[in-house]
Chain A
């Protein structure tokens, strides 16, 4: 099954501060919920072991995350692939990054393809979980950026 999500997040910080944060593998890894361990592979890549509890699928998933920022600093891409417990998840997400009056906006869109037992659980369960993960991640990013930004 394929799941598609999109939204717009605003962070009361400069684009530079936001850009610096979201292009850091270590910073992004620290904002994802249920991360049990993470390993930064290089300046654009990290691996993470994540605790998953979606319906009857409960255990550890291992993800390989690749950050793909555009050279002009206007668009941030992210590819996540991995899985566990016989399931595979591939996620591609992009965010357009823009600043206005000291507030940075992330207009994002993501598509997740799932294979295996997790796919059979269906949107009714995964939707709620996915939204919780997205909300938590953005909330953490916002909190951390604001806390570390000049004047924050």
Chain B
């Protein structure tokens, strides 16, 4: 596997390929995940009862048999929760509400209808089987285009009797329509980004522990945003925030799935409060795939206008979004369609317009940011597929078309026609590096030779730009809470330190990279900086980890907190060196007297002095907290190339090569970045070729387990090649942009573009994902191939 991201040699911590500090406990099986947590007093267990119908009136719930079952302590229904004001809770951005347990009727298959609390997990599940629910099936709708007709209304709890949730638009409609009408070449293509699911290997869970002696509710939760969840629990229940202690332990993958609040969390907490005993709920695989936050499900009509020479003139994207039964999409309050406005991508469109209409359907609610910054993946797929289709119509090489239309380096900061201001980039250099590294010209020559022999070979390009790092408080909030993030650093007398942040790693490697940032800024050893996240009693308040926001926001807070410490350290250094602060400079990780570089003190010496010999007029100790409000988003980008062979007899795709060149600005740890890219590319590969949540004519969810919803193993996963360019973000303290989600954002289009390039000789221009063998075989057969 090629790993060519190089460290920055002049730095001692940032850019170093340091092994992950968290891995020794993970590879020894010593991680502490939610289900590993046991308390020193008897714990009850919760199992949930689910609706088999996509839409049904709940006529009666008979608890009798369940309550008589061995070990069953209680059976809770929506009506029971209603008595405590917990039947409904607000959705992520607060525009809608969602049922905790179904009240009156069930709105999607597998919706939670009741909860059974018992003395063991087995007893709880056995009890759940005995809850007798009488349903009266109702007409249902699982297609947003049918939902548009309003013939079946899902949400009769809402004042407005329509399935239409909202309309959102940005850009210049008339100008774009006029430019499209006047364009010499125009494409208009319906692209469906299928409903898929993050499917973290560890499902969701909660252990709620109401201590009657203290009146304090401790909730261990699979949470990507523990502080936000604590605030939500307080707002919904009325329990003062100081009486809620939320702990997010080690998390076995989140990918956005562990951002929303789920029924099991609320029921476990409510049961613990009522019963005064700990209650644990651990989701099954089926519950995770059928009820928790899905991703995508966008139907996008992409129109691009261009000149015959291949200069783009306008972009218009019209989307129908399927949100399921509640508007529980995970988006910042002012961005109902997330950051879909990034849909102009890396290209300099003179004008653009995009609009979106969202609908309720009898499907599980969600629309979470699955390893992407709020709908950026959908947008990137739309523009990158659109550009390839345009290249096909123009009979132009897709690389040439891109190079002709990229935003130029001298245009940064670049104001996009849809309202973003891109911070930095050199798209031409990154794509040219990718073309050189993969040997693009030789591959095109090979392709021509293969085509002459009737073989199907394709080369796919995706040159995406993301908008990440939500976000500036003037624009970004969730339920009113501004999307800043935070860091607190305490340097101990010996120069070791503890660093706490408002984020929460789910595999990103924060225990390593956060230490590296602080170590770089302070001249300390990253091995002696312990990082803690996820405990609301100790960590500073932050909005958590999702949407590639950790490094752009919390990473910046760490750098700024470190600089506050350095400012104080300078006073101590001046005291130790018996000179004025103005006579000192920070150089080579020491404070040195200007002109006398050997007259210097290290941070370790300063830390010891902070506790033993503090400077006159300064507080003892050496610590700082910083809440960082970013001035702008960051805009990481990349150039991805996929090379595939398609078997025209079977539809089988072999991904021969995949090269990912990422530009995420300053790289904190190249090895961690490569790990992130490998994981995200594997997810992108699965989305492109394997994964889709489908519903049948009876409203059945057809992928409720890993037999039907496929996760690639090492056998299917291609070999990944990675490299990088670096255009630091000018507004981030260390120039970092974030990278964890780039491969999931950028790769689906590269795969699909490659396969469509292979099928071009057959006249096939587009097939929706997932590109399964049978789907491609049918397309090839239909095309006469």
B705 adjacent to A119 (CB under 8 Å): no
Report if A83 contacts B (CB, 8 A): yes
Interface-located stretch among B219-227, B504-512, B692-700: B692-700
Nearest-neighbour CB distance to chain B for A119, whole angstroms, equals: 4
A88 adjacent to B129 (CB under 8 Å): no
A120 adjacent to B700 (CB under 8 Å): yes
A120 adjacent to B701 (CB under 8 Å): yes
Report if B313 contacts A (CB, 8 A): no
**B49: chain A residues within 8 A (beta carbon):** 86
Closest to A89 in B: B52
Report if A2 contacts B (CB, 8 A): yes
Report if B702 contacts A (CB, 8 A): yes
**A115: chain B residues within 8 A (beta carbon):** 52-54, 109, 698-700
**A116: chain B residues within 8 A (beta carbon):** 50, 52, 109, 700
Report if A12 contacts B (CB, 8 A): no
B50 adjacent to A86 (CB under 8 Å): yes
Nearest-neighbour CB distance to chain A for B706, whole angstroms, equals: 11
**B698: chain A residues within 8 A (beta carbon):** 1-2, 113-115, 119
**A74: chain B residues within 8 A (beta carbon):** none
Nearest-neighbour CB distance to chain A for B55, whole angstroms, equals: 11
**A85: chain B residues within 8 A (beta carbon):** 129
Report if B708 contacts A (CB, 8 A): yes
Nearest-neighbour CB distance to chain B for A15, whole angstroms, equals: 36
Tell me, in angstroms, the Cα distance from A115 to B109 when the chains sit together: 8
Tell me, in angstroms, the Cα distance from A136 to B354 when the chains sit together: 59
Interface centre among A1, A59, A84, A86, by most chain B C-beta atoms within 10 angstroms, is A86
Report if B704 contacts A (CB, 8 A): yes
Report if A56 contacts B (CB, 8 A): yes
**A113: chain B residues within 8 A (beta carbon):** 698
Closest to A56 in B: B705
Closest to B708 in A: A120
Closest to A87 in B: B52
Report if B528 contacts A (CB, 8 A): no
Mark out the residues of chain A between 43 and 92 whose CB falls within 8 Å of any chain B CB in the assembled complex.
Answer: 56, 59, 83-88
Tell me, in angstroms, the Cα distance from A83 to B135 when the chains sit together: 12
Interface centre among B49, B109, B699, B703, by most chain A C-beta atoms within 10 angstroms, is B109
Nearest-neighbour CB distance to chain A for B159, whole angstroms, equals: 31
B286 adjacent to A117 (CB under 8 Å): yes
Q: A116-B109, A120-B704, A122-B708 are in contact. Are A2 and B697 (CB under 8 A)?
A: yes
**A122: chain B residues within 8 A (beta carbon):** 702, 708
Nearest-neighbour CB distance to chain A for B131, whole angstroms, equals: 10
Interface centre among B129, B696, B701, B703, by most chain A C-beta atoms within 10 angstroms, is B696
Tell me, in angstroms, the Cα distance from A147 to B698 when the chains sit together: 41
**A2: chain B residues within 8 A (beta carbon):** 697-698
Tell me, in angstroms, the Cα distance from A84 to B701 when the chains sit together: 17
Nearest-neighbour CB distance to chain B for A87, whole angstroms, equals: 6
**B129: chain A residues within 8 A (beta carbon):** 59, 84-85
B52 adjacent to A88 (CB under 8 Å): yes
Nearest-neighbour CB distance to chain A for B316, whole angstroms, equals: 38
**A120: chain B residues within 8 A (beta carbon):** 700-705, 708
B696 adjacent to A1 (CB under 8 Å): yes
Interface string of B703-728 (1 = CB under 8 A from A): 11100100000000000000000000
Tell me, in angstroms, the Cα distance from A88 to B286 when the chains sit together: 16
**A87: chain B residues within 8 A (beta carbon):** 52
Closest to A116 in B: B52
Nearest-neighbour CB distance to chain A for B695, whole angstroms, equals: 10
Mark out the residues of chain A between 99 and 135 whose CB falls within 8 Å of any chain B CB in the assembled complex.
Answer: 113-117, 119-120, 122
Closest to A60 in B: B129
Tell me, in angstroms, the Cα distance from A59 to B704 when the chains sit together: 18
B52 adjacent to A83 (CB under 8 Å): yes
Tell me, in angstroms, the Cα distance from A117 to B52 when the chains sit together: 8
Interface string of A1-14 (1 = CB under 8 A from B): 11000000000000
Nearest-neighbour CB distance to chain A for B49, whole angstroms, equals: 8
Interface centre among A1, A2, A88, by most chain B C-beta atoms within 10 angstroms, is A88
Tell me, in angstroms, the Cα distance from A152 to B698 when the chains sit together: 45
Closest to B702 in A: A120
**B701: chain A residues within 8 A (beta carbon):** 120
Q: A84-B129, A88-B53 are in contact. Are A114 and B705 (CB under 8 A)?
A: no
**B700: chain A residues within 8 A (beta carbon):** 1, 114-116, 119-120
Tell me, in angstroms, the Cα distance from A123 to B703 when the chains sit together: 14
Nearest-neighbour CB distance to chain A for B765, whole angstroms, equals: 31
A119 adjacent to B53 (CB under 8 Å): no
**A84: chain B residues within 8 A (beta carbon):** 129
Tell me, in angstroms, the Cα distance from A120 to B286 when the chains sit together: 11
A119 adjacent to B702 (CB under 8 Å): yes
Tell me, in angstroms, the Cα distance from A113 to B697 when the chains sit together: 10
Nearest-neighbour CB distance to chain A for B125, whole angstroms, equals: 10
Tell me, in angstroms, the Cα distance from A122 to B705 when the chains sit together: 12
Closest to A119 in B: B700
Interface centre among B129, B286, B698, by most chain A C-beta atoms within 10 angstroms, is B698
Tell me, in angstroms, the Cα distance from A115 to B705 when the chains sit together: 15
Tell me, in angstroms, the Cα distance from A2 to B696 when the chains sit together: 9
Tell me, in angstroms, the Cα distance from A88 to B700 when the chains sit together: 11
Tell me, in angstroms, the Cα distance from A114 to B109 when the chains sit together: 12
B52 adjacent to A1 (CB under 8 Å): no
Tell me, in angstroms, the Cα distance from A76 to B699 when the chains sit together: 30
Nearest-neighbour CB distance to chain B for A118, whole angstroms, equals: 9
Between-chain CB contacts (< 8 Å), 9 pairs = A1-B698, A1-B702, A83-B52, A115-B698, A115-B699, A116-B700, A117-B704, A120-B702, A120-B708
Query: Which residues of chain A have a CB within 8 Å of any CB of chain B?
Result: 1-2, 56, 59, 83-88, 113-117, 119-120, 122
Contacts A115-B53, A117-B704 known; list 18 others, CB within 8 Å.
Answer: A1-B696, A1-B700, A2-B697, A56-B705, A84-B129, A86-B50, A87-B52, A113-B698, A114-B700, A115-B52, A115-B109, A115-B700, A116-B50, A116-B109, A119-B696, A120-B700, A120-B702, A120-B704
Q: Which 4 A-B pairs have the closest CB atoms?
A: A116-B52, A119-B700, A88-B52, A115-B52
